[in-house]
Structure 1
Amino acid sequence: MRSGDDEAFDAMGRLGFGTNEAEVLVALHELGTATAREVSQAADVSRPQVYSAVESLENRGLVNVQHANPREFQPVTVEETGSLLTRRFERDIERVTDRLEEAASRREGPSEEREDIWTVRGREAVTERITQLVRDAEARVVFGVKSTDLLTEGVREALAERAAAGMDVTVLSTDAAVRERFADVADVTVFAPEIHDEEANHTGRMLLIDDDTVLHSVLGEEELPGTSRETAYWSAGSGFASTLVAMMERTLQAQTT
């Protein structure tokens, strides 16, 4: 395996490919059509392991086998491979979500108001939580973001969709590049807030949804060069959330008057 392929092979592992399957599939795409001996030489995988890997790949519809002497193997196109993998994992995701919805439907609701504060760690997880909360909004969304690297296209699209649906959408950022990304989005109010608190330097993103949901994320030390850790705290329908909503509203009123 070439060192430059590490990320691709790691990704193939997460998609369910064994090491030999990944090596054989890549070798076949490099060779086009090949015998087990040729694949073994190109992938540095023993011939018995090549046959085993090809059988698995054939069962997935990723490799065609010509039953000649010797047998030859040919991968389906890259486009077809992508489509097959997408359909497979879409079905798997659908099965998982259906099962989870079934389980959730049997859950008994809380008998009294809960004062829950939830924690979400990791930039991708925080982004997904923000996107979902925005899409669930019914009347108002206020989104604050520190910089463009924290404003994904998915979040931007969700905010634009809520605005198009007639909701009150406001975006706050001291970063002119962030504000520019909403220049062509109709019905979204954008402005640069005045920030005096030095602690705000650690704030990554903030979100206010309707009158009962808030999220606030903070940035930590670099996890990887150029990438900061992000942790978000959010609450919905609780006394804690109502208190934070009121505080945010007072701050917004002070900024806009």
Structure 2
Amino acid sequence: MSENNPQNQAIEELEQFGLREYEAKCFVSLTKITAGTARDVSEHIDVPRTRVYEAVRSLEADGLVEIQHSSPQRFRAIPLSEALEVLEQRHQSRIDRLEQSLTQLRREPDSGSHELDPEVWSLSGTETITARTKRLIDGAETEVLLLVGDNEVIANGVNDRLRSAANRGVDVVVGAGSESVRSQLAELTSELYVFESNFEWLSQADQPGHLSVGRLMLVDDGDLLASTVAHTDGNVRERAVCGNGSGNSIVLVLRGLLSQYLDHPQGA
């Protein structure tokens, strides 16, 4: 059996949601055969019959399986749409509890700390960098400048965050070399200013084996995010640096380079 077949993938994903191995296997089996006895499940998937009863009772307690009290007992998985909703709520509850615990653990800043001192930190992974991008946009008070080099930069909710920022009065200026990206952004809201970038190095992100700019963002003249994207063997890897502080040299360089678009967008 291939390790990458849909059945094994489903079992692995369910285990990531907190189900134990036999629970995940039983749920996958019942999803596939619709309904059956412990013997049916055991014969269909690698779970001892005695362990099927234990796993199904746990799944019933989680609301994922229904039991018919016949002789022998029969089991069936709840409809897929309902199961996904149950798992989503379960996953969200775990995230909420984790957030609460980590928030309580977070160390209060020392009274002598200097949070405004210039700093530069590195990040890796498109999901992580996208999350930071959205957080910075959400916290913007006066202006957001974003240069888009890779088309994926405005995906996963970033475009919605840009629209929200523009609609609440933040000056949002976005530059891109790709016409398709500019068209998507221009349709978000009339409050968002989109311009065609003349920087050639922003139009090379999709070239195989080429390391290029993914996104450059400046927020409120104090927060910077700059990333590079590498396309190799069908994989995309994004790395970024984040800087803060109006005295940060990277912030100053980017501000000077792009000041024409921030200060005089109508003439760009």
TM-score range, shorter chain: 0.7 to 0.9
Shift in alpha-carbon separation, 1:47–1:204, aligned structure 2, 3 A: same
Provide the rounded CA distance (Å) in 1 between the counterparts of 2:227 and 2:101: 31
Give 1:221 shift.
Answer: 5.0
Aligned CA-pair RMSD: 2.5
Q: Which residue is equivalent to 1:31?
A: 33
Per the normalisation by structure 1, the TM-score is 0.88
What does 1:44-59 correspond to in 2, within 5 Å?
Answer: 44-59=46-61
Task: State which of 201, 218, 221 in structure 2 corresponds to 1:211.
Answer: 221
Residue 36 of structure 1 contacts residue 47 of structure 1 at CA under 8 Å; is this kept in 2? yes
Provide the rounded CA distance (Å) in 2 between the counterparts of 1:84 and 1:32: 18
Shift in alpha-carbon separation, 1:109–1:239, aligned structure 2, 3 A: farther
Give 1:198 shift.
Answer: 9.0
Shift in alpha-carbon separation, 1:71–1:109, aligned structure 2, 3 A: farther
Q: Which residue is equivalent to 1:243?
A: 252
Q: Which residue is equivalent to 2:191?
A: 187
Dislocated runs of 4+, deviation >4 Å: 196-201, 253-257
What does 1:1-257 correspond to in 2, within 5 Å?
Answer: 3-5=4-6, 6-104=8-106, 106-108=108-110, 111-112=113-114, 113-185=116-188, 186-196=190-200, 202-220=212-230, 222=232, 225-237=233-245, 239-240=247-248, 242-250=251-259, 252=261
Shift in alpha-carbon separation, 1:164–1:46, aligned structure 2, 3 A: same
Per the normalisation by structure 2, the TM-score is 0.85
AA at the equivalent of 1:206: L
Shift in alpha-carbon separation, 1:238–1:14, aligned structure 2, 3 A: farther
Provide the rounded CA distance (Å) in 2 between the counterparts of 1:200 and 1:107: 42
Shift in alpha-carbon separation, 1:110–1:188, aligned structure 2, 3 A: farther
Residue 147 of structure 1 contacts residue 178 of structure 1 at CA under 8 Å; is this kept in 2? no
Provide the rounded CA distance (Å) in 1 between the counterparts of 2:182 and 2:56: 52
Residue 148 of structure 1 contacts residue 178 of structure 1 at CA under 8 Å; is this kept in 2? yes
Provide the rounded CA distance (Å) in 1 between the counterparts of 2:105 and 2:246: 24
Give 1:101 shift.
Answer: 2.3
Shift in alpha-carbon separation, 1:110–1:205, aligned structure 2, 3 A: farther
Unaligned 5+ runs, structure 1? none
| Number of equivalent positions | 255
AA at the equivalent of 1:247: G
Give 1:161 shift.
Answer: 0.6
Shift in alpha-carbon separation, 1:243–1:29, aligned structure 2, 3 A: same
Deviations 1:12-61 (A, max 9, x none): 22112233222211111222221000111112322122222212212212
Give 1:196 shift.
Answer: 5.0
Which secondary structure does the structure 2 equivalent of 1:100 belong to? helix
